[in-house]
Amino acid sequence: MKGIILISALAITAGAQAQSLYNNATPAGLTLEGLRTNARSGGGDNSVLTAPNTIFGFGSRSPIRLADDFTTAGGTVTSIDLFSYQTGATTATINSGNIEIRSGSETGTVLATGVFGSSVLTDIYRVTPTTLTASNRVIQKVTFNFASPVLSAGTYWITFDLSGSLASGPWVAPLTKLGSPTVAGANAKQYTVDATGVGSWNPALDGQNVQDLPFWVNGQPVPEPGSLLALGLGAVALMRRRK
């Protein structure tokens, strides 16, 4: 019996380690945050604004919201990391916000709501090709924690807004690919309110190009049937040895 308990404990311990359920840079053919495009001579990396684009980042302060989709084979969500900046920040300044996981679309049923956890400075700076040493737009990684909602296999959307201690932004720089004004499959959206108070979701455009947003979904994937079978066989074998 102790052997079975030990195997179960090992399985639980392994499953408790948060993994990447979805990295939005990966389907776009990018690495890491999907922002690093140019190494800085003094260390760190740049997210370089690529011509003909002109938008450093999309506004995200309420009532403005941003949205993007992700797919999963199923699992529990423990946190989501966003990447944002406030112009002029020298410390982590993003201190609150609202994030939801919705089913199917940006207006689908709300399945889970996250709680602001933390923000930390990264070593990435949003710049232009002619201001590669600028440091006034340092990217912050913003983490929202979730109470481990269980998602079945499918497509979901996150919608969010952010707040910070500075007047500027927060802004969210899109996924960046040198030599291209957008990335494959880009379909991010932005919610804005017009002068009459009417709000609507529209594609997050820079010129004529729809952009995509950097984010990570973290948690535990649903164990594959083969893994569960192997665990069960291991437990049975241990029982036999113990008899």
Per-residue pLDDT of 173-217, as tens digits, reads 999 998 899 999 999 999 999 999 999 999 999 999 999 999 999
The predicted pLDDT at position 186 comes to 96
Instruction: Name the band, by pLDDT with cuts 50, 70 and 90, for residue 242.
Output: low
109-135 pLDDT per residue, tens: 999 999 999 999 999 999 999 999 999
The predicted pLDDT at position 142 comes to 98
The predicted pLDDT at position 163 comes to 98
Q: Say which residue, 11 or 41, is predicted with more confidence.
A: 41
What is the 3-state secondary structure of the chain? CHHHHHHHHHHHHHHHCCEEEEECCCCCCCCCCCCCCEECCCCCEEEECCCCCCCCCEECCCCCEEEEEEEECCEEEEEEEEEEECCCCCCCCEEEEEEEEEECCCCCCEEEECEEEEEEEEEEEEECCCCCCCCCCEEEEEEEECCCCEECCEEEEEEEEEEECCCCCCEECCCCECCECCCCCCCCEEEEECCCCCEEEEECEECCEECCCCEEEEEEECCCHHHHHHHHHHHHHHHHHHC
The answer for 9, left when phi > 0, alpha when psi is -120 to 50, beta otherwise, is: alpha
d(CA 205, CA 54): 10
The answer to whether 83 and 172 are in contact (CB under 8 A) is yes
pTM of the model: 0.85
The predicted pLDDT at position 243 comes to 54
Please give the average per-residue pLDDT across 226-231, as a whole number: 43
What would you measure as the largest C-alpha separation in the chain, in angstroms?
77
The predicted pLDDT at position 239 comes to 47
72 pLDDT above the threshold of 60:
yes
